[in-house]
């Protein structure tokens, strides 16, 4: 008997495969290398760039704003703002975490949109 969790896992696997199929043409060797670099923990740092990019701002302070601007600069350095992800449904371009639902990649630029 297939459990609910097994069905959910199968659906997620299909979704990941479909997203990859839709964006594979964007993945140049350089972009793949840069994306792999997001997983590397650099010397003197305790987390990877991906972990650093993931959490959003939780309080409105100058320090938090500077940190978010640093993330934006890093993503622009990777040319994330020029990626055309319009082939993905809007719901798929959103961050998976409810805390980050206001951030999404849309139509070739990194935008901030509020669902609230």
* Separation of alpha carbons 5 and 114, rounded Å: 31
pLDDT tens, residue by residue, 42-73 = 999 899 998 888 887 888 889 989 999 999 99
Domain boundaries, the chain: 4-112
* Separation of alpha carbons 74 and 88, rounded Å: 23
pLDDT tens, residue by residue, 23-43 = 899 989 999 999 899 899 999
In the numeric block, the tokens 């740092």 are attached to 45
Question: The pTM is what?
Answer: 0.62
User: Burial letters for 24-60: b for 16+ Cβ neighbours within 10 Å, e otherwise?
Assistant: eeeeeeeeeeeeeeeeeeeeeeeeebeeebeebbeee
């Amino acid at each position: 008997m297939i459990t609910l969790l097994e069905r959910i896992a199968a659906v997620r696997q299909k979704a990941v495969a479909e997203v990859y199929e839709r964006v594979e043409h964007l993945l140049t060797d350089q972009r793949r290398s840069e994306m792999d670099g997001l997983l590397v923990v650099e010397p003197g740092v305790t987390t990877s760039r991906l972990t650093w990019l993931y959490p959003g701002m939780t309080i409105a302070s100058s320090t938090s704003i500077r940190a978010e601007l640093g993330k934006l600069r890093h993503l622009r350095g990777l040319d994330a703002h020029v990626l055309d992800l319009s082939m993905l449904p809007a719901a798929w371009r959103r961050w998976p975490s409810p805390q980050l639902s206001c951030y999404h990649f849309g139509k070739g630029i990194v935008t901030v949109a509020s669902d609230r």
